[in-house]
Structure 1
């Protein structure tokens, strides 16, 4: 899957200015898009399928980092970020199950086995948590 990071985006029916850490949750009813990436403009891209994904809130990522440190008994000063892979932090499959259980308990959610298997990074976990919380609401 391709990924585009841009400073602005405009649609034929909607126009948004995307800024760092600004959440854009839903866009619908458009057929073409114009992107501006690092001052290069790519006008009128025709899209048959387009998805906008938003990263989890920093607070959620930080809480997941705390839970991962606790479950893996890592020192408080260990570098755990959204990009941290559980395997790189020394987690085996049992540790990952325990991390997911800790996340379920902390956030009051239930993670299905299929979803749990797709979690490989702290960011994956945080994104899934926010998606499940949103569904629950």
Structure 2
């Protein structure tokens, strides 16, 4: 079993366990509210994250290992407004989804993109 632990902003701790090739277990802990949520995720979410990392790396010329789920496109990855438009277009093409201008304004981090894509992939299915 492989384990990864990282403390994110606002006292949130993220721990990932890789049980098998296609089975991940994720623990989110928010210390200030003693909130613990355990969620099982399969290869779909990991695949989405990997695909998004590849797109970001190509569009923004950033090494994939520098891209984390809490990375902000402008603050952490150096994207400007044109980069963001091109990134949204690349995500729409890769995942066969439509991202409205209003929704695009809400996608500020890699996790925002993952959440939006996962939600809309499920609605399209």
In the superposition, the TM-score normalised over structure 1's length comes to 0.58
Assess, with a 3 A threshold, how the Cα gap between structure 1 residues 58 and 95 changes in structure 2: closer, same or farther: same
State whether residues 84 and 121 of structure 1, in contact with CA within 8 Å, keep that contact through their aligned partners in structure 2.
Answer: yes
Q: In structure 1, the residue corresponding to 2:85 is in which secondary structure? A: helix
**CA–CA distance in 2 between the matches of 1:54 and 1:89?**
29
Larger radius of gyration: 1
- Number of equivalences: 95
Looking at secondary structure, tell me which structure has more strand per residue. 2
Equivalent residue, structure 2, for 1:96: 84
Gaps of 5+ in 1: 6-18, 23-35, 39-52
Looking at secondary structure, tell me which structure has more helix per residue. 2
Give 1:136 deviation, angstroms.
Answer: 0.9
**CA–CA distance in 2 between the matches of 1:4 and 1:69?**
26
Gaps of 5+ in 2: 1-10, 14-23, 28-33
Greater RCO between the two (CA within 8 Å, min separation 6)? 1
Give 1:61 deviation, angstroms.
Answer: 1.3
In the superposition, the TM-score normalised over structure 2's length comes to 0.63
2:26 to 21, 28, 53: 21
Give 1:21 deviation, angstroms.
Answer: 3.0
Aligned Cα root-mean-square deviation (Å): 3.3
